[in-house]
Amino acid sequence: MLSADERRAAEQLALALDGDPGAADEARELALLLSGAAGAARIDIPGEEVERALAGTRLPRPGTERTRRRARPLAAAAVAVAVVAALALPLLRSSPTVDVQARAAGAIDRRAVIHVVSRITSPTGVLPSGGLTTWIDHGGGRERVRLTRTDDHGIPLVDVLSTPGRYLRYQVRTRTAVTGPSCRVVASGCAELLDPVELYRQALLRNGIGNARKVTTGDGQVYRFALPLPGSVGRPGIHQVVSLDAETFLPRTIEWRDSTGTVAVISVALVEQLAPDALPAGVFRLPLAADTHVRQVDASGAEVRLLDHGRITLAALRSSSITTAWLGEVAGGWRLQRIDVFKYTAGIAVRYRYGDATVWTYDQVVPPVLRAGHLSPVKILEDGRSPVHFYQTDGGGAVAERDLRDVTVAVVAPALTKIDVLQLISRARPL
Amino acid sequence: MAREPLDEARFRREQGDLDLLFRAHYPEIVRYLAVRLGSREEAADLACDVFLEAVRSAPHLRWRGRPVLAWLYRVAANMAADRLRQRGREVPVERMPEPAVEDPDRLPDREALVRALGRLPADQQLAVHLRLVEGRPFSEVARLMGRSPAACQMLVLRAGRTLRSLLETEGIHAER
């Protein structure tokens, strides 16, 4: 309930913001402060940036839901780089840059899930050499990335899955996996998630093509142009030289260069764009071998350990500083029976028992019972609030999980249907 | 009330012409996200996602007396919250471009101001953004936020007080 004084103070501030000199002292003070902060936040967005960003959100061709550039033999792509280098200068001619920019930006449609297959050759080690397969789903800001690196013979080395708030890296040969809240839990984790074609796309949208030239190569026509690398990527001084297919406007090769010459060549064999509902099953699931050793780490990379656990009353939980959520005193016809708190080195989890349903809430540490299934969400449902992730525990029980503002809630109910579990989790609210 | 048909016509126009929607609102969504995320670059990137979501969803939106922009802000706020959660709730603040401030000598350090603004609760931040950064009257702020004008005034009051105390903890005091 707002007091009359508060309401008056708010009205006074509104007057002060309108420039009324008769407003109260506090109102004028706050108006000055707020105006200063707003002024600092009032950044200018130039018209060219708006147009460039707009070009990047357009469909490439009306009615085209799926754009695919068939894989060319990788060896041929590598040869093409050399041919481009040899033939480039005599055959250069100017082209209308604005069209290349717009079509290149439009060719990679962010509404689609992007699938890229490439081969990286990097004698200097600035990028890991070998095969790289990436799936990127920008999914309205909830970015999911699946990335698989192979050796030169196509044998998988590393498989990585990154979804909002979850990161899993699987070392295939050693059958070890590390999981945590973000790619930052592993020293090279975030760098490893960078796909060179995605870096090209980001640079294209942010910087635009300054000077594209049409070049005839032994493998058809390409547009060639240079772009910077996004700020924190690679070593300082590296830029990318892109050869863009003159028909599809998709990259064929991307060379990373510094002052010494070429430091990496990315031969793009396939750029495929799929509607989210046309994805092959399991693209964003990372199945682990049965004997995989999974290590859960906190945000700093340290292994998570259980420090203490015990029963707690509702009143004690309410008066504690633990951030948690619950389903209320009664849920699904069951009364709340008991509450337990689990203290880990990196966070706290709370378990509520309601008849056949168990509710977990956690922030940084995934309770062990959820950990195995938690790595591979089966299905994501949107119900107008935050998405609900469905997966199964080791024992096969259905789990529905949802991120609230400060905590994640998971409902485990082996005997219930998904609909029942969904109804239960929809009742989750902060305690 | 008399504005209703005009507002609905604009809603339909923006719903059907996404280029128009983009050009009209992209800059303000970037400004909003830049403070929420503390990064101008990340804001531009996420703003594109907001409009891509608009491309997907705008044709299915129903007129409920609120402009498409209200929906854009809601999507932007949700995406920003996701992004912050993804980052482990860190809010790094990068240097913002030099703003146009009338009387800089009387104001606390700009970076500290933007940093403090970024630490406000999401609803207070949005109210401040709409009223002060974008310069909309409280009646419009209220329509965009789906609240009463008085409630939005209260949010701005609380934002001002929170801002003051955040700055005071950094040893910066606003002049009276």
pLDDT digit string, tens, across residues A73-110: 333 333 333 333 333 333 333 344 447 888 888 888 76
Contact A12, B142 (CB under 8 A): no
Burial class (CB in 10 A: 0-12, 13-18, 19+), B4: exposed
pLDDT of residue B28: 94
A-chain residues near B163 (CB < 8 A): 30, 33-34, 37
Element spanning A69, H or E: strand A67-69
Distance from CA of B90 to the nearest CA of A (A): 11
Better pLDDT: B98 or A372: A372
Distance from CA of B9 to the nearest CA of A (A): 23
Q: Where are the beta strands (DSSP E) in A345-413?
A: 347-354, 357-362, 379-381, 388-392, 398-403, 408-412
Element spanning A93, H or E: strand A93-94
**Does the beta carbon of A9 lie under 8 angstroms from any beta carbon of chain B?**
yes
A334: pLDDT confidence band, cut at 50, 70 and 90? very high
**Among the listed residues B19, B141, B151, the one whose alpha carbon sits nearest the alpha carbon of residue B70:** B141
**Among the listed residues A340, A348, A387, the one whose alpha carbon sits nearest the alpha carbon of residue A137:** A387
Contact check, Cβ <8 Å, A403/B30: no
**Does the beta carbon of B86 lie under 8 angstroms from any beta carbon of chain A?**
yes
pLDDT of residue B3: 53
pLDDT of residue B91: 38
A-chain residues near B150 (CB < 8 A): 7, 10-11
A-chain residues near B132 (CB < 8 A): 17, 34-35, 37-38
pLDDT of residue A311: 92
B-chain residues near A299 (CB < 8 A): 88
Contact check, Cβ <8 Å, A41/B96: yes
A-chain residues near B160 (CB < 8 A): 13, 30-31, 33-34
Q: Where are the beta strands (DSSP E) in A130-202?
A: 130-137, 144-150, 156-163, 166-171, 176-180
Contact check, Cβ <8 Å, A45/B176: no
Backbone angles phi, psi at A118, to 5 degrees: -145, 165
pLDDT of residue A134: 92
pLDDT of residue A306: 84
Percent composition of chain B: helix, strand, coil (DSSP 3-state, to 5): 70, 0, 30
pLDDT of residue A340: 94
Residues A241-272 as b/e (b if ≥16 CB within 10 A, e otherwise) read: bbbbbbebbbbbbbbbbbeeebbbbbbbbebb
> Is 80 exceeded by the pLDDT of residue A272?
yes
Chain A 71-130, residues with CB within 8 Å of chain B CB atoms:
110-111
Better pLDDT: A292 or B1: A292
A-chain residues near B108 (CB < 8 A): 33, 36
Instruction: Report chain A's mean pLDDT, rounded to a whole number.
Output: 77
pLDDT of residue A366: 75
Contact check, Cβ <8 Å, B48/A40: no
pLDDT of residue A2: 57
Contact check, Cβ <8 Å, A53/B26: yes
pLDDT of residue A231: 61
Instruction: Write the pLDDT tens digit of every residue in A148-162.
Output: 988 888 888 889 998
pLDDT of residue B94: 35
DSSP A265-291: EEEEEEEEEE-GGGPPTTTT--PPPTT
Contact check, Cβ <8 Å, A25/B99: no
Better pLDDT: B88 or A213: A213
Contact check, Cβ <8 Å, B132/A17: yes
**Does the beta carbon of A297 lie under 8 angstroms from any beta carbon of chain B?**
no
Contact check, Cβ <8 Å, B176/A50: no
Average pLDDT for A339-357: 89
pLDDT of residue B156: 94
Q: What is the crossing angle of helices B40-57 and B68-86, to 10°?
A: 130
Distance from CA of B169 to the nearest CA of A (A): 15
Residue of A50, A58, A163, A202 to mutate for B, most B C-beta atoms under 10 A: A50
Chain B 18-47, residues with CB within 8 Å of chain A CB atoms:
19, 22-23, 26-27, 30-31, 34-35, 40-41, 44-47
Q: Nearest residue on chain A to B167, judged by CA atoms? A: A33
Contact check, Cβ <8 Å, A41/B133: yes
B-chain residues near A11 (CB < 8 A): 150, 153
Bridge-based pairing state of the strands A113-121 and A130-137: antiparallel
> Is 90 exceeded by the pLDDT of residue A374?
no
Residue of A8, A11, A15, A57 to mutate for B, most B C-beta atoms under 10 A: A57
Average pLDDT for A200-224: 82
> Is 80 exceeded by the pLDDT of residue A383?
no
Could you tell me the two tokens for B79? Answer: 């995406």
Task: Compare CB distances from B163 to A33, A184, A386 and report the shortest one's residue.
Answer: A33
Contact A181, A42 (CB under 8 A): no
pLDDT of residue A59: 39
Q: What percentage of chain A has pLDDT greater than the value 70?
A: 78
What residue type is assigned to position A80 of the chain? A
Q: Please state, in angstroms and rounded to a whole number, the distance separating the CA atoms of residues A247 and B1.
A: 53
> What are the pLDDT tens digits along chain B (176 aa)?
445 566 777 777 777 777 888 888 999 999 999 999 888 888 888 888 888 888 777 777 777 778 889 989 998 998 888 888 766 543 333 333 333 333 333 445 667 788 888 888 889 999 999 999 998 999 889 989 988 999 999 999 999 999 888 888 766 555 44
Contact check, Cβ <8 Å, B102/A164: no
Bridge-based pairing state of the strands A334-344 and A330-331: antiparallel
Better pLDDT: A139 or A244: A244
pLDDT of residue A117: 92
| Residue found by looking up tokens 């989890």 in the block | A349
pTM of the model: 0.45
Instruction: Write the pLDDT tens digit of every residue in A166-197.
Output: 788 888 877 778 888 777 766 666 777 788 88
Q: Please state, in angstroms and rounded to a whole number, the distance separating the CA atoms of residues B164 and B160.
A: 6
Contact A376, A287 (CB under 8 A): yes
Instruction: Write the pLDDT tens digit of every residue in A22-55.
Output: 888 888 889 888 888 888 888 888 877 787 777 7
Contact check, Cβ <8 Å, B49/A141: yes
